[in-house]
Structure 1
Amino acid sequence: MRKDIEIPEVKDVYIVAVKELHADYKTEDWNAYIINDGNEPLEMVLLVVQGYDDKDMTTHMRHTIKILPAKGFAKIEFMEESIFRLNNFYSVTYFLHNKMYEKRFEFPAHSIMDDNAVNVPVMGKLGVIAK
């Protein structure tokens, strides 16, 4: 029965966009990261990334992280600034204590900018946190 299905709530996991200096090109680039602010490592993290609006849609990008340590983070991808006009979503699935967790994080169009940057957990840097 549907009432018997337990859907665990995702806690202490974040998707963030962080502006960083690229050492080789001497440019400031936005990069997407996944953060595990929990006390347990996440196993088999699967990410599906896509941007869209009424007219345009990017291709699906898929990423896998075998283990994301507790209080750790991992770079997902470089974010080209031309996609900031789109709604960008990150579907995250992972296993914790033999249970599967899933959540969709979204950066609304035009939300990735310096004015929206806050202190992000674990990394100790400024960034934009996806909703």
Structure 2
Amino acid sequence: MRKDIEISEVTDLEMAVVLEPNETHDSDDWYVYLINKKNVDLDMVIIVSQGFSETKTTTVFRKKIDKLPTNSFVKVEMIHPDVFSLDNRFQVSFFEGNQIFEKTFQFDKNTIKEGNLRMISLLNKRGIVVK
């Protein structure tokens, strides 16, 4: 039966952490985005995130997105600088047509920082991207 299971590689899907102004609180805050660079819509997207190290773990966060259109993005969550010293993992599951896919993205500890920001063209914002 295992030979019948096809696990396809996920391409053209990225996670980004972006530093952007929060006008309501007059501050700069960090946000996580999911970027769909595919030429197809993604349906029933589930994102499970958690920060962890050898001695600490954060609460598991889950988010559902009904549809993520082709060549678009969605703001997933705000991320607090206190967890940047942890590895931050985002497991993304979704349907493309009738097939389910899964991809894990990880921002390694201490990589989310202003010095690593680069322009992300689709967002037109500066951030850190994991493919």
Please give the TM-score of this superposition, normalised by the length of structure 1.
Answer: 0.95
Q: 1:33-57: CA deviations, max 9, x gaps?
A: 1010111110000000000001110
The secondary structure found in structure 2 opposite 1:105 is strand
Distance 1:120 1:101 in 2: 24
- Displacement, 1:118? 1.9
Distance 2:53 2:121 in 1: 29
Partner of 1:86: 86
Q: Does 1:63 align with 2:63?
A: yes
Kindly provide the amino acid, as one letter, of the partner of residue 14 in structure 1.
E
Distance 1:6 1:77 in 2: 31
Q: 1:97-119: CA deviations, max 9, x gaps?
A: 11101011000000001111122
Please give the TM-score of this superposition, normalised by the length of structure 2.
Answer: 0.95
Distance 2:97 2:118 in 1: 31
Contact 1:37/1:121, CA 8 A, preserved across alignment: no
Say what the alpha-carbon RMSD is for the aligned residues: 1.1
Distance 1:116 1:11 in 2: 23
Q: Does 1:23 align with 2:30?
A: no
Kindly provide the amino acid, as one letter, of the partner of residue 54 in structure 2.
D
Partner of 1:120: 120
Distance 1:111 1:21 in 2: 20
Partner of 1:76: 76
Kindly provide the amino acid, as one letter, of the partner of residue 52 in structure 1.
F
Partner of 1:102: 102
Q: Identity rate of aligned residues, in percent?
A: 37
Residues paired across the two proteins, number: 131
The secondary structure found in structure 2 opposite 1:115 is helix
Q: Does 1:130 align with 2:124?
A: no
- Displacement, 1:121? 4.6
Kindly provide the amino acid, as one letter, of the partner of residue 2 in structure 2.
R
Gaps of 5+ in 1: none
- Displacement, 1:2? 2.1
Gaps of 5+ in 2: none
Contact 1:45/1:95, CA 8 A, preserved across alignment: yes
The secondary structure found in structure 2 opposite 1:3 is helix
Distance 1:9 1:53 in 2: 27
